């Protein structure tokens, strides 16, 4: 690994507790990799209710935008008029069944959260998903809402990512000054939302390439939180 790449990994870690006083985590692709499961669940919903066969690739443009848009964008593509919120509720019901015992935390998640808490950083969680998915994911990966000063779901803000609303609300509730906040994201929509909120953004390449995340405005990129921990 080149010195430049090492520095890109270490920069956010070195600033934790100095210019960065709080960390706001996205959930999917940051704490856990739930995208394959929600795509499977939504695909099964489309097949069950509309006799439509969709692929995981169909959902990719809508990653990070919340399940309304996640399934709504695919419905538009195929000319399907959804029955909402019933179709979303069914998607979540399937999702909760299939993640049990299968959804795992991404590398370094537990240790990174523990290190942030050790350093006295304020932690918040902001996901475009609904609360049922937030709670289900945290339970499966062994984290609790009490670890975070605020947990914000997509249903609590009107405008979803790439608008900054969810990160600003997380910062407000957790009492983190936006300029002193680090957002950890995996999707371009989330990176754009963080930058629009006036926050710094660390992009994890769990879902998109470093180049895509940098183009969206990421200040740093890393493969996962385990790699970031190496710079602490």
Catalytically annotated residues: 26, 28
Closest CA to 75 of 86, 65, 64, 83: 83
Contact 147, 31 (CB under 8 A): no
CA distance 77 to 126: 28
CA distance 119 to 111: 12
CA distance 56 to 78: 14
Sheet holding 181-185, edge to edge: 150-152, 122-126, 22-25, 181-185, 200-204, 220-222
Closest CA to 124 of 195, 63, 180: 180
- The tokens of 66 are what? 């919340």
């Amino acid at each position: 690994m080149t010195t430049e790449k090492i520095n890109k990994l270490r920069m956010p870690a070195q600033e934790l507790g100095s210019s960065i006083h709080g960390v706001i985590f996205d959930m999917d692709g940051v704490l856990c990799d739930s995208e394959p499961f929600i795509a499977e669940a939504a695909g099964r919903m489309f097949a069950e209710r509309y006799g439509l066969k969709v692929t995981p690739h169909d959902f990719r443009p809508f990653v990070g935008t919340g399940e309304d848009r996640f399934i709504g964008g695919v419905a538009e593509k195929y000319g399907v008029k959804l029955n909402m919120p019933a179709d979303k509720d069914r998607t979540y019901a399937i999702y909760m069944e299939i993640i049990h015992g299968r959804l795992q935390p991404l590398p370094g998640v537990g240790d990174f959260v523990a290190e942030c808490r050790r350093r006295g950083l304020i932690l918040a969680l902001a996901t475009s998903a609904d609360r049922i998915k937030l709670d289900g994911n945290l339970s499966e990966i062994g984290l609790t809402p009490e670890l975070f000063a605020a947990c914000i779901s997509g249903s609590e803000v009107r405008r979803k990512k790439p608008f900054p609303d969810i990160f600003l609300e997380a910062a407000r509730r957790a009492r983190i000054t936006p300029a002193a906040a680090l957002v950890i994201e995996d999707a371009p929509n989330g990176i754009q939302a963080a930058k629009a909120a006036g926050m710094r953004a660390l992009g994890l390449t769990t879902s998109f390439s470093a180049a895509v995340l940098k183009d969206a405005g990421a200040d740093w990129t890393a493969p996962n939180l385990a790699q970031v921990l190496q710079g602490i």
